[in-house]
A and B are shown apart, each in its own frame.
Chain A
Amino acid sequence: MWKSLHIDPAKCTGCLQCEMACSYEHTGVMNPANSLIKVFNFEHEGRKVPYTCTQCSEAWCLNACPVDAIRIDRNTGAKLVYADTCVGCKVCTIACPFGTVNYNQESGKVQKCDLCGGDPACAKACPTGAITYIDANWTGYDRMQAWAAKANTPAAAA
């Protein structure tokens, strides 16, 4: 069973613990500049929004790659960049509608969220539950539950 990163921007405080955890997991250095998840702060609206790859089924990046350097991890559903194959042509960065695959000038390759092999560091580091890692078929569970609660029906008679 695959899981999905589930992001609830309303819970995000903008602390960037996720960015530090992501960069540390992938590079051994706490460095938001190398994070594969990015928190955007819409200052004048008071909104903060963490954003990363949604792992599309028909992934534009994967289909666009001319050397098949982006492949599916069967265990997690993540679309992985194989650095030994990637030639750094950046076509995937153009193809992705969401901007979540990006070129890294130090490595000369592209990089994107890989779900940390099934145990995402960002979700573990988030102090408010704004980033969770949940059943990929049930990303609407929380909202369904919230609306169900509003039905306000009496408990069934015994």
Chain B
Amino acid sequence: MAWTRKILRVNLTEGSCKEEALNMQWANEYLGSRGLASKYLISEIDPKVDPLSPENKMIMATGPLTGTMASTGGRYTVVTKGPLTGAIACSNSGGFFGAEMKFAGWDMIIFEGKSPKPVYLFIENEKAELRDASHLWGKSCWETEETIKSQHQDPQIRISSIGLAGENQVLYACVVNDLHRAAGRSGVGAVMGSKNLKAVAIRGTRGVGNVKDFPAFMKATSDAKKVLHDNAVTGQGLPKYGTQVLMNVINEIGALPTRNHRDVQFEDASKISAEAMHEKRESDGKPHLVTNAACFGCTIACGRISEIDKGHFTVKNSPKYWGASGGLEYEAAWALGAANGVGDLEALQYANLICNEQGMDPISFGATVGAAMELYEMGILTSEMIGIESPFGSAEALAKMVEMTAVGEGFGKELGMGSKRLCTKYGHPELSMSVKGQEFPAYDSRGIQGMGLAYATSNRGACHLRGYTVASEVLGIPVKTDPLTTDGKPELVKAFQDATAVFDSAGICVFTSFAWTLADVQPQIEAACEGDWSMDKLNEVGERIWNMERQFNNAAGFTHKDDNLPPRLTTEPAKTGPAKGLVNGLDKMLPEYYKVRGWTPEGQPTPETVSRLGL
């Protein structure tokens, strides 16, 4: 079975916690985690609801493989209507919190309403109660974890919390668990803050003992682990270099967005790369990287644990940042670095630490800084307005901006709205490098054409984790396609989007897909979950989830006109590299994509598609 078949419904307005049975028909149609939680959300809220109002709901959900020996089986998702985009938001996190939720006996926690005062949810197996969090309000994620563990005298409690960014409703605030793992994107932390919910603390000791066929499950998970081990990316590249292995690769192919996407190659890319993290620093003779680290159950272990240079200007007077902590991964290194033209590795790590400490998405934050720096260079923003001179490349400005945004002071309040609102306020909406209000991640779609379509059609706004065609276009996984053409990309994007929805809904990490295809995941789900879980069915489940999310966004007011890219990417050709002279060919791909999806030219699923998928 693998599901616990139990949901916890927490009404924050009333202060009540109630157990409900999981809807097993929905589990059979939407699998778990992302898919199943989205089904619940969409069935329970008005799509036009204000994301930061008590009428919005927030769901934390595990998948059937969460808390099992399946490699990477420790994921959980936070699903809600997102405040950054107004679209469905689904943010996925590793660490150890998700498995603990499962061990306590819960598939899902649904939060509704708004607490009259700050509270945290404490769960000990079957027992769940809301507790006063007035002593935690105003504390960082790090202090919150430490305080809760100390107060309960239990170091084995696992915690997800919001920091000051979530409390202040920074529109890209995240929910942080296990100190430096995060449900990172789309502002799910702001929704949690709007509900006066500071943290969820769980101790689970029941375990997972109900998989359908244990011997088959052990064989399937062992076989799949061997595939990860034997693959060059998941077996060697990611453990040694982390996702940062991509920095130099993406720069070389001319798809590293630089200075708010003015450029596609960054002259200092090598200084902020995985290789640089391994090199000994001149200052103290130590490498930046201390070790790699795994999330729960993960046999890849791509996580970075780093130690910042104690003498660096950002931390020389702040010993609390001197210890080892979550280090730079590719997206953060890009957003805090190349996107702003900052080539100072230690400054990027400082900004990254603040993002972890106070719960902010470094992608949207870094990209918003990039937009602000461009407005500064144009003379629209001034150093008086921002509080510091802010040209591209200024590590000092980056450090100052991360501090002010995390605590919501001065210009930080404006940065906390994200680039779309910031650029619109100052008369240049076109300078926001975003789709549906969410900032791009670290791949320029002039150099990787398929990603333009993946961004434009992503259900949670611009995102690399909804359809990672980089795998195919750059790395040749599972087959190599040409990153500079649009040919075949609509089919490719659809295939990645649907498969990713299944990975996310199973409770495993999408990074396994560097080595696994759905065919490697299917035997694990089949052995764990009751019912039939053939390849055909999983493909259909993925497509159903995608279309369900789309229908929600359409009902929320999005149209095909929102499946777009900023004009910079479709009208300003790349200046250097292999993609020199190219813009993104979204106009060629989008109509074909709608056809492949079974949607109308206006981007609405046709009645036949809706009926075929049982929506």
List chain B positions with a Cβ less than 8 A from chain A.
67-69, 71, 96, 99, 103, 156, 179, 204-209, 214, 225, 229, 239, 290-299, 301, 305, 307, 323-325
The answer to whether A31 and B103 touch across the interface, beta carbons within 8 angstroms, is yes
Contact A44-B325, Cβ < 8 Å, known A29-B208, A31-B206, A31-B208? yes
Q: Out of B68, B103, B225, B323, which one reaches A45, CB within 8 Å? A: B323
Q: Can you offer 14 A-B residue contacts whose CB atoms are under 8 A?
A: A13-B292, A20-B69, A23-B207, A28-B214, A30-B69, A31-B208, A32-B99, A32-B103, A33-B103, A33-B207, A34-B207, A43-B324, A44-B324, A127-B225
Which B residues lie within 8 Å of A45 (CB)?
Answer: 290, 323-324
Among A1-55, those with CB < 8 Å from B are 13-17, 20-21, 23-24, 27-34, 43-48
Which A residues lie within 8 Å of B298 (CB)?
Answer: 13, 15
Which B residues lie within 8 Å of A91 (CB)?
Answer: none
Which A residues lie within 8 Å of B156 (CB)?
Answer: 33
The answer to whether B205 and A33 touch across the interface, beta carbons within 8 angstroms, is yes
Q: How far is the CB of B273 from chain A (nearest CB, A)?
A: 20
Which B residues lie within 8 Å of A95 (CB)?
Answer: none
Q: How far is the CB of A144 from chain B (nearest CB, A)?
A: 25
Q: How far does the alpha carbon of A23 sit from the alpha carbon of B206 in the complex, in Å?
A: 11
Q: How far is the CB of A98 from chain B (nearest CB, A)?
A: 18
Q: Which residue of B lies closest to A31 (CB)?
A: B207
The answer to whether A15 and B299 touch across the interface, beta carbons within 8 angstroms, is yes
Q: How far is the CB of A62 from chain B (nearest CB, A)?
A: 28
Q: Which residue of A lies closest to B104 (CB)?
A: A33
The 10 closest A-B pairs by CB, nearest first: A31-B207, A29-B209, A44-B323, A46-B324, A33-B205, A15-B294, A13-B301, A46-B290, A13-B294, A127-B299
The answer to whether A15 and B229 touch across the interface, beta carbons within 8 angstroms, is no
Which B residues lie within 8 Å of A13 (CB)?
Answer: 239, 292-294, 298, 301
Most central of A13, A24, A44 by chain B CB within 10 Å: A13
Which A residues lie within 8 Å of B294 (CB)?
Answer: 13-15
Which A residues lie within 8 Å of B291 (CB)?
Answer: 46-47
Which A residues lie within 8 Å of B204 (CB)?
Answer: 33
The answer to whether A15 and B296 touch across the interface, beta carbons within 8 angstroms, is yes
Chain A interfacial residues counted at CB < 8 A: 26
User: Is A86 an interface position by the 8 A CB rule?
Assistant: no
The answer to whether B292 and A30 touch across the interface, beta carbons within 8 angstroms, is no
Q: How far does the alpha carbon of A48 sit from the alpha carbon of B293 in the complex, in Å?
A: 9
Which B residues lie within 8 Å of A27 (CB)?
Answer: 207, 209
The answer to whether B179 and A30 touch across the interface, beta carbons within 8 angstroms, is no
Q: Which residue of B lies closest to A128 (CB)?
A: B301
The answer to whether B69 and A21 touch across the interface, beta carbons within 8 angstroms, is yes
Q: How far does the alpha carbon of A15 sit from the alpha carbon of B74 in the complex, in Å?
A: 10
**Additional A-B contacts beyond A13-B298, A15-B294 (5; CB < 8 A):** A31-B208, A33-B103, A33-B205, A43-B323, A45-B324
The answer to whether A28 and B209 touch across the interface, beta carbons within 8 angstroms, is yes
Which B residues lie within 8 Å of A46 (CB)?
Answer: 290-291, 293, 305, 307, 324
Which B residues lie within 8 Å of A47 (CB)?
Answer: 291
Q: How far does the alpha carbon of A33 sit from the alpha carbon of B206 in the complex, in Å?
A: 8
User: Is A125 an interface position by the 8 A CB rule?
Assistant: yes
Q: How far is the CB of B407 from chain A (nearest CB, A)?
A: 23
Q: How far is the CB of B466 from chain A (nearest CB, A)?
A: 26
Which A residues lie within 8 Å of B208 (CB)?
Answer: 29-31
Which A residues lie within 8 Å of B323 (CB)?
Answer: 43-45
Contact A43-B69, Cβ < 8 Å, known A14-B294, A15-B296, A32-B103? no
Q: How far is the CB of B208 from chain A (nearest CB, A)?
A: 5
